[in-house]
Copies of this chain bind each other. A is one copy, B any other.
Amino acid sequence: MNEKLTHFDSEGQARMVDVSQKGETDREASACGTITVSPAVMQAIREGSAAKGDVLGCARIAGIMALKRTDELIPLCHSLPLSGCSITFSFPEDGVSVKAVCTVRTHGRTGVEMEALTGVSTALLTIYDMCKALDKRMVIGDIHLVRKSGGKSGDFYFDEHERAE
């Protein structure tokens, strides 16, 4: 484990880390998150996918557009030309939530974890926005990196038993 916050120099001043010595490799990252909603919202989202207003379709586009601008939102993120990305939604068994998974790929000198996390967050915020006339008590949570491959630090898989806590 790296012992320091690499986004700061030895005097504690923020900087964009120099990656010019890192190799250009294929890199991929996936992140996920959920939004817990009321039954009325859940029904609206499920029906909407069919005919009356496609909440998830809008949220997917919003997430994709936002993750392409991750470097504008997260101060010390590098700008990266992405190779591709996708956002998928599913309905966990609890019956009261929507889960989003965002996967991003690049061929570059640094990873795309932040892009995947930004895609998930913005997609979930968009669901909130589109459903808030029905319910304002929705809760967004469990946003974390799922896995990451490529790059010198090796692959990473989020192990449910090793959550930061």
List residues of chain A with CB under 8 Å of any chain B CB: 1-9, 12-20, 26, 33, 36-38, 40-41, 44, 48, 51-55, 57-58, 60-62, 64-66, 68-69, 71-88, 96, 105-109, 113-114, 117-118, 121-122, 125-126, 128-145, 148, 156, 158-159, 162-165
Contact = CB atoms under 8 A, between A and B. Distances in A.
Contacts of A3: 134
A30 to B, nearest CB: 12
Contacts of A143: 139-141
10 contacts: A5-B131, A14-B54, A14-B60, A16-B85, A36-B165, A74-B125, A76-B130, A81-B81, A137-B158, A137-B163
Contacts of A83: 18-20, 78, 109
B134 A36 contact: no
B133 A4 contact: yes
A90 to B, nearest CB: 12
